[in-house]
A and B are shown apart, each in its own frame.
Chain A
Amino acid sequence: MRPGATRLRITIVVLLVAVIMLAFILKLIDIQVIRADALNKDSAGKMSSSQTLFGTRGTITDRNGTTLATAEMRYNITASPSQAKNSFERTVDGKKISISTTQAATEIAQYTGQTPNQIIDILNAALTENAQSDYAILAKSVDLTAYRAINKLEIPWVYFEQAPSRVYPNGAVAGNLVGFVGQDGTPLAGLEVAQNECVGAVNGEQISDRSANDGITIPGSSVVSKPGKNGGTLKLTIDSDLQWYVQQSLAKQVQSQHGSWGIAVVMEVKTGKLVAVADYPSIDPNNIDGTAEKFRGSLAFSAPYEPGSTMKPLTAAMLLDQGKVTPATKVNSPTHIKYPNGAAFKDSGAHASNLTFAGVIVESSNVGVSKVASRLPTAMRFDYMKKFGLGSTTSVDFPGESAGIVHPYQDWDPQSYYTTMFGQAFTATAIQMASAYQTLGNKGVKLPVSLVESCTKPDGTVVTPQKSDGVRVVSEQAARTTVDLMENVATKGYLRDKVRIPGYRVAEKTGTAQQSNGQGSYSSKYIVSVEGLIPAQDPQYVVLTTMADADLNSTFAVAPIFHDICVQVLKQYRIQPYTRNAPNFATTY
Chain B
Amino acid sequence: MSNAIRNMIPAFSHPAGASSELSAVGPRPQRARRPKLFYAFIAMFIVMGTILAQILLSVMTSSSAYEIDELQASNKAISRTYEQAQQKVAELSSPQNIALAAEHLGMVISANPAYLRLSDSKVIGHPMRATSRGALLRGANARLVPNAQLAAAGATAPSVAGNTLVNSVAGASAAAGSVALPATANTIPAPQTR
Indicate if the CB atoms of B87 and A571 lie closer than 8 Å. Answer: no
Q: What size tier do the contact residues of chain A reach?
A: 35 or more
Q: How far is the CA of A375 from the CA of B115 in the complex (A)?
A: 47
Complex: how many Å from CA A317 to CA B79?
58
Q: Are A70 and B90 touching (Cβ within 8 A)? A: yes
Q: Does A247 contact B (CB under 8 A)?
A: yes
**B136 contacts chain A at the CB level, 8 A cutoff:** yes
Q: Which of A70, A251, A503, A568 has the most CB of B within 10 A?
A: A503
Name the distance in Å between A467's Cβ and chain B's nearest Cβ: 29
Interface: B125 (CB within 8 A): yes
Query: Secondary structure at chain B's binding surface: helix, strand, loop or mixed?
Result: helix
Contact partner of B90 (CB less than 8 A), chosen from A67, A503, A575, is A67
CA distance in complex: A73, B77 (Å): 12
Are the C-beta atoms of B145 and A167 separated by less than 8 Å? no
Other-chain residue from B65, B90, B141 in contact with A169 (beta carbon distance below 8 A): B90
Contact A169 B91 (CB under 8 A): yes
Which residue in chain A gives the minimum CB-CB distance to B70? A216
Q: Please report the C-alpha to C-alpha distance between residue A216 and residue B82 in the assembled complex, in whole angstroms.
A: 25
From residue 69 to 83 of chain B, which have CB atoms closer than 8 A to chain A? 69, 80-81, 83
User: Quick check: A240 and B90 within 8 Å, CB to CB?
Assistant: no
Q: Which of A31-39, A282-290, A380-388 contacts B (4 or more CB under 8 A)?
A: A282-290
Give the distance to chain B from A551, nearest Cβ to Cβ, in Å.
17
Q: Are B113 and A171 in contact (CB under 8 A)?
A: no
- Report B-chain residues with C-beta under 8 Å of the C-beta of A252: 136, 141, 144
Q: Which one, B80, B90, B126, contacts A502 given CB within 8 A?
A: B126
> Which single member of B61, B128, B145 contacts A244 (CB below 8 Å)?
B145
Q: What is the 8 Å Cβ interface bit string for chain B, positions 96-127, against chain A (1 contact, 0 not)?
A: 10010000000001111111000000001110
B66 touches A171 (CB 8 A): no
* Residue A577 is within 8 A (CB to CB) of chain B in the complex: yes
- A143, A171, A240: the one contacting B148 at CB < 8 Å is A171
B165 within 8 A of A: no
B173 at the A interface (CB under 8 A) = no
Q: How far is the CB of A259 from chain B (nearest CB, A)?
A: 13
B65:A284 contact, CB within 8 angstroms: no
Among B66, B136, B148, point to the contact of A286 (Cβ < 8 A).
Answer: B148
Partner of B125, one of A244, A284, A577: A577
Which residues of B in the span 20-75 have a Cβ within 8 Å of any Cβ on A? 61-62, 64-66, 68-69
Report B160-178 CB contacts with A as 1/0, cut-off 8 Å.
Answer: 0000000000000000000
Knowing A251-B145, A290-B146, A577-B124, the reply to whether A170 touches B94 (Cβ < 8 A) is yes
Say yes or no: A172 contacts B113, CB within 8 Å: no
The closest CB in chain B to the CB of A243 belongs to: B95
| Interface set, chain A 554-583, CB cutoff 8 A to B | 564, 567-568, 570-571, 575-577
Determine if B144 and A241 form an interchain contact, defined as CB atoms under 8 angstroms apart. Answer: no
9 further A-B contacts with Cβ under 8 Å, apart from A144-B80, A219-B68, A564-B133, are: A66-B93, A143-B84, A173-B145, A217-B68, A241-B95, A245-B109, A251-B144, A570-B113, A571-B113
Question: Lowest 6 A-B CB distances belong to which pairs?
Answer: A171-B147, A502-B126, A244-B95, A577-B125, A169-B90, A503-B125
A-B contact pairs, 11 of them (CB 8 A): A72-B87, A170-B94, A171-B146, A240-B95, A248-B99, A255-B144, A286-B147, A286-B152, A567-B111, A576-B124, A577-B124
